[in-house]
Amino acid sequence: MSGLYHSPAVKNPTREELAKISDDLGLKCHPEEIDAILGHFIKGTSKALQRINDMVEPALPVKYPRTPGHRPSPSDNPFNAWYWCCDIQSGKKGKLAGKTVGVKDSIAVAGVPMMNGSKILEGYTPEFDATVVTRILDEGGHIIGKTVCEDCCFSGSSFTCSTGPILNPHDETRSAGGSSAGSAALVAGNKVDLALGGDQGGSIRIPSSFCGIVGLKPTYGLVPYTGAGSIETTVDHLGPMARTVQDCALLLEVIAGLDGKRDPRQPRDLTVPEYTKLLDAGIAGKKIGLLDEGFHFCKEEDVKNVVQTAALKLAQAGATVGHVSVPEHLDGETLWFAICVLGGYDCMIKDSGVGSLRKGHYATSLHEATNRGFTTRPYDLPISMKLTAITGEYVSRMYGKKFYAKGQNLNMLLTEAYDKALEKYDVLILPTLPYKATKLPVEGSSTSDLFENAFTMLHNTAPFDISGHPALTINAGFSESLPVGMMIVGRHFDETTVLQVARAFEKLK
């Protein structure tokens, strides 16, 4: 076989192509230097890349058989929330036996089409299961479909997905929240028992709040991100969404834990308690801190009142409820912008959803498909992503990574401020969102209105993505027939206390 012709992995550049790159980079290489660089590429670089191309990389396991499934018909697609229907089971009688599960379409399921809400990935089918998918199947979970998410997961509303808007089960004229919109709508609408979401700026908690379910963004690194599409590697989270705290804890128990050396987001000494066995320990003697700055952002007075009333009820379960101020919280979303929007542009668009400067497993087929999509059809991106791309490229050209780097440095101060408050209080409580579910935009909406709809609800959710603290939203009550979310934030890797407080509130409702 070695004598047979096969297409090279890399096309060698021409002198003219290298000269143009030199000019673009301002290097001003002389013709002799270009010739030498070309020779080095042909003799060294090209051979090295060909060798890497020919080698077999380690693959994520696909342990259980399945069929590709099918695209749902409109009549079988409540709330327009399913992207793809499937029927994948392991036959095992584990912790999730009898539970149906929806998987956000930013998370790979082998043999099932994956679109990440975007035409950029249209036609891509992964050949691997994300680690969280394998863990669900290992414990007997029944995966029945991929849930619709926002285009590239970059919107807090539910109107940017290329397959159409996802509708809120409480009022189908309103947003289901984003970006894990389909997961929240299907759980809230009793179409699936459990769902996986992803959260980089609030994308588990926003739709969970709008739809009135329980959604948990775990501590950064608790749940492996292996096999999911990345927005920015320092804020990537996967987590559970469910109708009850019990089921939320159960799914977390299954998906959390160290993934070998595949995910560098995870600490090496990570251990996972059995959350479900600790849920009902009670919260007598616990100290609850109402985060004053979190209430500052409320744009609707009823949201503030519902959350305050709900939090005060925890005193009935034996907790002490007081107020705490963390002034740094007011700048949390600003720092998130520098990290997640500017950094996300590099990771999502320039690095085609892979990120860089990290060890661990890379989903190379997902990278290739994303790169191909961004190269051939970037015009198909929604206005929310075009905003991110243009902003990110401009700042990058003018200032490099200055603001990203400074944002990461300032984030250490923000994280320390939360940690200091959590030395005094066991959890912090604040409204998940500044308002209830908004009306979906209608045809003819201005671009400014679309931006408003997509990005103005992140004040309280985004800061905990960059700080990495666990943050759970639970329905605090209703106003005008719409759910209002209450967010419970805990110490790093203390999901147990967060879940216990949520469970105590659930019992009081």
How confident is the model over 27-49, as pLDDT tens digits? Answer: 999 999 999 999 999 999 999 98
Q: Report yes or no: 86 and 144 within 8 Å, Cβ to Cβ.
A: yes
- % of the chain exceeding 90 in pLDDT: 93
156 and 37 in a common domain:
no
Residue 59, domain member (yes or no):
no
Residue 246 placed within a domain: yes
Are both 50 and 161 inside the same structural domain? Answer: no
pLDDT tens figures, 200-246 = 999 999 999 999 999 999 999 999 999 999 999 999 999 999 999 99
Residue 236 inside a domain? The answer is: yes
One domain for residues 135 and 21: no
Start-to-end C-alpha separation, the chain:
70
The residues that are catalytic are: 104, 179, 203
Domain coverage including residue 33 = 15-54
* pLDDT, averaged across the chain: 95
Is the pLDDT assigned to residue 327 strictly greater than 90?
A: yes
Q: Looking at the structure, do residues 20 and 169 belong to the same domain, yes or no?
A: no
Q: What percent of the chain clears pLDDT 70, i.e. is strictly above it? A: 98
Please say if the pLDDT value at position 249 is more than 90.
Answer: yes
Which CATH number belongs to the domain containing residue 185 in this structure? 3.90.1300.10
Are 190 and 333 part of one and the same domain? yes
Q: What is the pLDDT of residue 298?
A: 96
> Do 260 and 231 lie in a common domain?
yes
279-282 own/partner pairs: CB under 8 Å, 24+ apart: 279/245, 279/246, 279/249, 279/499, 279/500, 279/503, 280/500, 280/503, 281/500, 282/317, 282/318, 282/500, 282/504
Tens of pLDDT, residue by residue over 129-142, are 999 999 999 999 99
Verify that 25 and 99 share a domain, yes or no.
no
Residue 359: the pLDDT is: 87
- What is the arithmetic mean of pLDDT over 104-115? 98
Residues 115 and 85 in one domain: yes
What is the total count of domains within the chain?
2
Q: What is the pLDDT of residues 264-300, one digit of tens each?
A: 999 999 999 999 999 999 999 999 999 999 999 999 9
105 in the same domain as 41 = no
Do 123 and 186 belong together in one domain? yes
- Is the same domain home to 265 and 334? yes
pLDDT higher than 60, residue 2: no
In a domain, 431, yes or no: yes
Predicted structure pTM score: 0.95
pLDDT at 3: 57
Q: Kindly tell me if the per-residue pLDDT of 329 is higher than 80.
A: yes
Mean of pLDDT values over 453-478: 97
CB atoms within 10 A of CB 308: 18
Mean pLDDT of 79-94: 97
